[in-house]
Amino acid sequence: MTTYTHGHAEAVLRSHRWRTAANSAAHLLPHLREGQRLLDVGSGPGTLTADLARAVGTTGEVVALEVTEEAADLTRAELDRQGITARVLVGDIHALDLDALGGPFDVVHAHQVLQHVADPVGALREMLRVTRPGGLVSARDSDYGHFSWHPASPGLDRWLALYAAAARANGGEPDAGRMLLAWAHAAGATDVEASSSTWCFATPVDRAWWGGMWADRITSTALARQLVAEGRATEAELAEVADAWRAWADHPDGWLSVLHGEILVRA
């Protein structure tokens, strides 16, 4: 199992709680129906899980899976806040326990998960194993190598290089988006629909939120501690990267696009 590069600091959760089914699972939404049984792998702070639960309705069932009790508690808290009923379990995507999960699913979903796991092909194989014949496995992951921004910024170039190095040191693949189709084929899937989508941050409000969030993440989270501990950057250098994020956010021409790869795999 790999180390989760981002950790669960407030600056990270600020980003994750922004995610909804509309902005993070639009490729899956048309396939969701009342009464389906859905597994959300890597549910995090639960906002996306709650939307998926609403999509399968009161006759459906959602099981959320996280790798630690700390992360599972984040999911439980958000689902409770929204009045959503779902089972939240701790488990390993590399070895899903079908009995503990309560049997197979109509839909198995993972958002921004496969980029962090030790064996993404094995993880997809497990997701398919717990999916009913004819059901769907859905995965969506960002592709850091295809992040684009303007104006050009050596500080943001440095941020990208630092993040990619840290993620790979933890056993992950930050360019996972482009790999999803290949990983699905390697897992034995033959019926795969691949697509892509983006998040774009270009308004003053959006830039302030995204840039401020990453300025905090590069200086005050597990990522920052790892970069310093491994000798990849000093705290002063990370502060300079944070300043680059704030400068980008303040620029009237600031624009940034985040590319995501997506797959829908028919079991």
Instruction: Name the pairing type of β-strands 192-201 and 105-111.
Output: unpaired
Instruction: Please give the average per-residue pLDDT across 53-69, as a whole number.
Output: 97
pLDDT of residue 2: 63
> What mean pLDDT is reported for the chain?
96
Instruction: Read off the pLDDT band of 145 (50, 70, 90).
Output: very high
Task: Report CA 140 to chain centroid distance, whole Å.
Answer: 7
Q: Which two tokens stand for residue 24?
A: 């993070």
Instruction: Please give the average per-residue pLDDT across 114-118, as a whole number.
Output: 96
Alpha-carbon distance of 13 to 158, in angstroms, equals 23
Residues 37-51: tens digit of each pLDDT:
999 999 999 999 999
- 186 pLDDT more than 90: yes
- 1 pLDDT more than 60: no
Residue in this structure with the two tokens 């995204």, named with its chain if needed: 210
Task: Report CA 162 to chain centroid distance, whole Å.
Answer: 19
Alpha-carbon distance of 63 to 176, in angstroms, equals 25
- Between 214 and 1, the higher pLDDT residue: 214
pLDDT of residue 3: 76
Contacts of 50 (CB under 8 A, 6+ apart): 78, 79, 82, 84
- 59 pLDDT more than 90: yes
Instruction: Please give the average per-residue pLDDT across 128-132, as a whole number.
Output: 98
Alpha-carbon distance of 128 to 122, in angstroms, equals 10
Instruction: Read off the pLDDT band of 23 (50, 70, 90).
Output: very high
Instruction: Please give the average per-residue pLDDT across 59-86, as a whole number.
Output: 96
pLDDT of residue 218: 96
Q: What is the largest CA-CA distance in the chain?
A: 54
Kindly tell me the sign of the dihedral angle through the C-alpha atoms of 224, 123, 26, 147: positive
Alpha-carbon distance of 233 to 79, in angstroms, equals 38
Task: Give the three-state DSSP class for 258.
Answer: strand
Q: Which two tokens stand for residue 184?
A: 């699905």
pLDDT of residue 12: 77
131 phi and psi, to 5 degrees? Answer: -105, 135
Task: Give the three-state DSSP class for 138.
Answer: strand
Residues 197-253: tens digit of each pLDDT:
999 999 999 999 999 999 999 999 999 999 999 999 999 999 999 999 999 999 999
Q: Which residues of 7-18 are buried (b: 16+ CB within 10 A; e: fewer)?
A: bbbebbbebbeb
Q: How far apart are the first and last CA of the chain?
A: 25
Instruction: Please give the average per-residue pLDDT across 7-18, as a whole number.
Output: 78
Query: Counting runs of H as helices and runs of E as strands, what totals does the chain give?
Result: 11, 8
Instruction: Read off the pLDDT band of 9 (50, 70, 90).
Output: confident
